[in-house]
């Protein structure tokens, strides 16, 4: 950690598998997908299409419960994130303080990069 | 038995008052639960012993465990830092296992932020640390309103949050569970860890009330 060792940093030339690395990082703006698939999923309807900020990727990655719900566990680990939303983004006529917010975990498969 | 989703919690003896248990005809879901359980046992997918053991696991978890975690965090700054960095690992230090393989995020109330926990989908709850959730936590009015009008919900618990304090609602919908680290009440500097733990009620760790020295009115 003191930088004196040449082996301290990651080695170059290592290629990571698809999905191995988290796509989003803290501070990224993300929009929750507006899909309504048939099946088992846990993204609340009230957040579809809403824009929030990634707080962090949660480690370790978790088994995608949309797959697990049908008994398919192997190889279906997905990154998921703590995402923060302003209450006023979710509820346009929210009555409380403008500071108030909602924090939730969302799997990567439900997040799209947002501009604003 | 890997998932705690989270239906009938009434297979055990406990002290709080109940609406008619063991009276009248079993409901639709009671019958379905019995049928599925009997089928799983008949097919030898699970055994009656495993069910009984899991009930013992659940019964061994209660807010008293969470209260000890909070009191330790109030008195040991290094532990507090570890708890906020990785709630599960810090609880495991104290011997609390996470039998359901959930992660635990501990969120700290401060003079600037008040945290509130809900599960809008069902009743996800930090059971390894707190045991079974209260009935109101699983009821639809709390689950729906906590994310829409948290300040009104808090006010109904007698908790008035000033406008300059941020209310953060945590909707637990996947593998992560949340535990609120309440603020240590003023005037408790001389309290022992044990005395502090006695101030920490279940509801303070859900975030609906603050921890207070006079807890007589704080928890039902």
Long-range contacts of A11-16 (CB under 8 A, 24+ apart): none
Residue percentage of chain B with pLDDT more than 90? 80
Fold of A29-113: SH3 type barrels. (2.30.30)
Q: Is B105 on the interface with A (CB under 8 A)?
A: yes
What are the catalytic residues of B?
119, 122-124
Across B177-199, average pLDDT? 96
Angstrom distance (rounded) from CA B6 to CA A17: 35
Res. A17 pLDDT band, cuts 50 70 90: confident
Domain ranges of chain A: 29-113
Across A61-78, average pLDDT? 82
Residue A64 · residue A79 · CB < 8 Å:
no
- Beta bridge partners of residue A84, listed in sequence order: A53, A103
CATH number at residue B72: 3.90.330.10
pLDDT value at position A92? 94
Nearest-CA distance from B174 to chain A in Å? 7
Residue percentage of chain A with pLDDT more than 70? 91
The predicted model scores a pTM of 0.84
* Model confidence at B129: pLDDT above 70: yes
Measure Cα distances from A98 to A89, B160, B170 in Å.
Answer: 10, 16, 17
In B, which residues are within 8 Å of A106 by CB distance?
A: 174
- Spell out the residues 6+ positions from residue B124 whose beta carbon is closer than 8 angstroms to its own: B6, B172, B173, B177
Tell me whether residue B18 is in a domain. no
Tell me whether residue B176 is in a domain. yes
* Model confidence at B16: pLDDT above 80: no
Tell me whether residue B134 is in a domain. yes
The tally of domains found in chain B comes to 1
Q: Is B111 on the interface with A (CB under 8 A)?
A: no
ipTM confidence: 0.87
Res. B21 pLDDT band, cuts 50 70 90: low
* Span B143-184, pLDDT tens digits: 999 999 999 999 999 999 999 999 999 999 877 999 999 999
For residue B78, the enclosing domain spans 63-206
């Amino acid at each position: 950690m003191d930088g004196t060792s040449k082996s301290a940093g990651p080695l170059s030339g290592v290629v990571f598998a698809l999905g191995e690395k988290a796509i989003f990082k803290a501070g990224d703006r993300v929009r929750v997908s507006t899909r309504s698939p048939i099946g088992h999923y846990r993204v609340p309807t009230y957040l579809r299409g809403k824009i929030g900020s990634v707080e962090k990727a949660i480690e370790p990655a978790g088994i995608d419960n949309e797959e697990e719900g049908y008994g398919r566990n192997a190889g279906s680990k997905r990154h998921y994130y703590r995402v923060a939303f302003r209450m006023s983004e979710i509820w346009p006529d929210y009555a409380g303080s403008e500071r108030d917010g909602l924090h939730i975990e969302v799997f990567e498969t439900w997040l799209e990069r947002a501009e604003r | 038995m890997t998932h705690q989703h989270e239906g009938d919690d009434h297979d055990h003896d406990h002290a709080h008052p109940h609406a008619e248990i063991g009276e009248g005809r079993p409901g639709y879901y009671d019958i379905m639960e019995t049928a599925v359980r009997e089928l799983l046992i008949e097919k030898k997918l699970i055994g009656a012993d495993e069910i009984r053991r899991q009930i013992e696991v659940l019964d061994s978890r209660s807010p008293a465990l969470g209260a000890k975690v909070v009191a330790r965090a109030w008195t040991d700054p290094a532990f507090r830092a570890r708890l906020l960095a990785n709630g599960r690992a810090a609880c495991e230090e104290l011997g609390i296992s996470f039998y359901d393989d959930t992660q635990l995020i501990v969120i700290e109330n401060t003079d600037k932020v008040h945290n509130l926990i809900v599960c809008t989908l069902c009743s996800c709850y930090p059971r390894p640390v707190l045991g079974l959730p209260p009935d109101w936590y699983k009821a639809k009015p709390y689950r729906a309103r906590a994310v829409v009008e948290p300040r009104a919900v808090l006010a109904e618990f007698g908790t008035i949050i000033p406008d300059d304090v941020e209310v953060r609602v945590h909707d637990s919908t996947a593998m992560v569970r949340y535990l609120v680290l309440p603020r240590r009440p003023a005037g408790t500097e001389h309290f022992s860890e044990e005395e502090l733990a006695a101030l920490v009620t279940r509801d303070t760790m859900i975030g609906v009330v603050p921890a207070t020295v006079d807890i007589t009115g704080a928890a039902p």
